[in-house]
Amino acid sequence: MSQDRTTKPIVFLSHSSKDREQLLALKALLDERFGNAISFFLSADGESLRIGTNWMAEIGAALKKAKLMFLFVSRNSTDSLWMHFEAGNAYGKIRVVPVCMPGVSVDELRPPLSQLHGFNLHSAGALSSLVDDCNKEFGLRMRVRFTPQEFHKVFAPAESAATEFFGRWTSYVSYVRLEATVKKPKDTPCDLISDFAEAYAAVLPDVRIVTTVFDPNSRQIEAPGASIRQLVSHMGDPENTHLLEASFSPTLFHLHAPVLVYWHANRREDFPVRLRIAPSSRVEVLSDWPLLTASLFQSPIEIAGPRLLRLHDLTFLVLPEGLQFEYAGNINRHIASELLSILVQRRVLTPRPEGKHQSALGEMLFGFH
């Protein structure tokens, strides 16, 4: 028999009705992970619902019994008078925590919400902050972790609504490249392209892709803003080395990023994958380790290992040729935009002076210094 709500601690989830589908998915995920330990009460935006006595009484009763409120802030909720009413009614009685959904940052909050201690819910790792706050408030010891796929499933509507993956930093990016190497015996077929074709069919069914098969081990997919190819290198070894290379335009990467998430979660073979965000020719990268870490001191980016840095659950390298990640399906547009914003603010990525830009362009095109 399930535990009655009145005997369980109540966490009040305040949100805009426009974000209802995402919050329903999040509540289902939290209910599954917490079991009977906590009751998560999902409120609704009174501006968009017919307000009845019983409904108002239920909201009021939940607010009285709740010990913790998560106030989910999105682009949809910034003008929600009902959410501000709920928060104002709860403030001073229970702990209110602003939670900024993808597309909004705590840096953008205005008083009185900016005076409360909140956090950005922009990654799977940040979902753990919900658990940490519940543990702290109710004296629990729940150990709950979430996968990038679970995060994407909840917040996919917000991600698919994006117009540019890198936001205002798009001009700082030249291209995005995914690379992998797979070794197979010479008589073993290896098809790394079909999984991508299936991912495009599932995620972007209305986008036309062209698949070309040159031979059993050499294939290519072309789509707007993307080129994916599989090459094979014999090199006289007993094994063939299959190279998977995918290049994406930064201006359309918001279309292809969900395809990569689907492909990574559903591919037939598991192998390491690298993702590189290459800077444009007009951007200089500060990659010297002592200078780099000094610039990032006391920022949200921390040292994760030898030459490794981490933001939330994203681990990466800063190299002269750009940012390199071990791709695990955990890069969304919000964490990418946050990462680039920090790197620009801390002068890890800086625009080249006009003369140096022209010199770099000359080296690239003509090979002279």
Q: What is the pLDDT of residue 368?
A: 38
Please indicate, yes or no, whether residues 172 and 318 belong to a single structural domain of this protein: yes
Write down which residue in 124, 158, 192 finishes a domain.
Answer: 158
Q: Which of 120, 143, 158 is the last residue of a domain?
A: 158
- 311: how many CB neighbours lie within 10 A of its CB? 22
227 CB neighbour count, 10 Å cutoff: 13
Report pLDDT for 326.
Answer: 92
Would you state the pLDDT for residue 273?
A: 94
pLDDT in tens, 153-166: 888 765 554 467 88
Neighbours of 40 (CB within 10 A): 23
Q: Are residues 86 and 124 in the same domain?
A: yes
Residue 60's domain is classified under what CATH number?
3.40.50.450
pLDDT tens-digit readout, 261-295: 999 988 888 899 999 999 999 899 999 999 999 99
Same domain, 154 and 179: no
The sign of the dihedral angle between the CA atoms of 287, 289, 291, 294 is positive
Residues 178 and 122 in one domain: no
152 and 188 both lie in a single domain = no
Asked if 154 and 241 sit in the same domain, the reply is no
**Are 208 and 306 found together in one domain?**
yes
* Tokens linked to 232: 């094979």
Q: What pLDDT score does 85 carry?
A: 64
Determine phi and psi for 235, rounding to 5 degrees.
55, 20
How many angstroms separate the CA atoms of 286 and 264, rounded?
30
- 55 and 88 share a domain? yes
Question: Does one domain contain both 227 and 310?
Answer: yes
For Cα atoms 32, 38, 39, give the angle at the middle one, nearest 5 degrees.
90
Sign of CA dihedral 141, 146, 150, 156: positive
- Structurally, the chain folds into a number of domains equal to 2
Same domain membership, residue 152 and residue 239: no
Q: What residues make up the domain containing 339?
A: 162-366
What would the DSSP string read from start to end of 59-126? HHHHHHH-SEEEEEE-TTTTT-HHHHHHHHHHBTTBEEEEEE-TT--GGG--TTGGGS--EE--SHHH
pTM of the complete model beyond 0.95:
no
Same domain, 177 and 135: no
- Decide which of 125, 158, 191 is a domain's last residue: 158
Q: What is the rounded distance in angstroms from the CA atom of residue 219 to the CA atom of residue 98? A: 48
Same domain, 179 and 73: no
CA angle 156, 311, 298 (to 5 degrees): 140
Low-confidence ranges of the chain (pLDDT < 70): 1-6, 43-59, 78-82, 84-86, 89-90, 157-163, 216-217, 234-236, 354-369
pLDDT confidence of residue 6: 53
* Other beta carbons within 10 Å of 245: 15
The Cα diameter of the chain in Å comes to 79
